[in-house]
Amino acid sequence: MIDIDIGIPTCARPDAIKKTLASIRRSRFPADRLGITIIVDGNPALKTEIEKIEPYGARYTVIFNEKRIDWPRSINRALAETFHADAFLYGADDIQFDPECLAIAAARLEAGPEGLGGVVQIAQDVGGCSSAFGLMGRGFIDRFPGKAVMCPDYIHFGADFELGRFARRAGAWIPCPIAKVRHARKKDRTHQLAQQVKARDLHTQSARAGKGFLWGSDFNRIHPEAE
């Protein structure tokens, strides 16, 4: 059985992230084979609260971004600084895992044609981007310099979509409709912050596609000043 690290950025959802962590606690995946990294994005009060949560047997790390850098860059930071397992699942603070989700996804990754070079799609109970959440094997992650799997041209939207496009092109995408999460998609402060950058990210997505850029196939940027 493989070890899994989960990375979850959060900014202003203390109750939601606690529910996400509680759903991981109920998972049938062994806690001693699990690592959890919470990336607190620019909210020191939430950092103090999150650090007090009992890790219940899993490896537990809290990273703090002094300045808000949003979801794609937070995932990249977790991969660069805390990823030591066989696979990494990129998540969000408004999802809850079904009890069998992690075990099913891990088994599917191991059995896939690419082995740890694949990406298992995690299914949502609402419509949306099919690549919003996934379990990536170490071999897939190592394709990316510095383990930066999320294109830093994006602020919030689009990086996961482009990652999914690359994984499909590389023959590494593994659909798994029975590995499920429930995605609340709350219309709260976090949602409002995301909506403020949506138009910019949609323009970025269109501009990158127009130039033929695909993160993973190449590592070209259109917003290098964003670093």
Per-residue pLDDT of 116-171, as tens digits, reads: 999 999 998 765 556 679 999 999 999 999 999 999 999 999 999 999 999 999 99
CA distances from residue 218 to 157, 208, 223 in whole angstroms, order as listed: 19, 11, 15
pTM above 0.85, yes or no: yes
Tell me phi and psi for residue 188, to 5 degrees: -125, -160
pLDDT reading at 210 higher than 70: yes
Q: What is the pLDDT of residue 71?
A: 95
User: What residues form DSSP beta bridges with 217?
Assistant: none
Domain residue extents for the chain = 4-217
- pLDDT tens digits, residue range 9-40? 999 999 999 999 999 999 999 999 999 999 99
What is the architecture of the domain spanning 4-217? Alpha-Beta Complex (3.90)
Q: Using the Cα atoms of residue 9, residue 131, residue 3 and residue 101 in order, give the sign of their dihedral.
A: positive
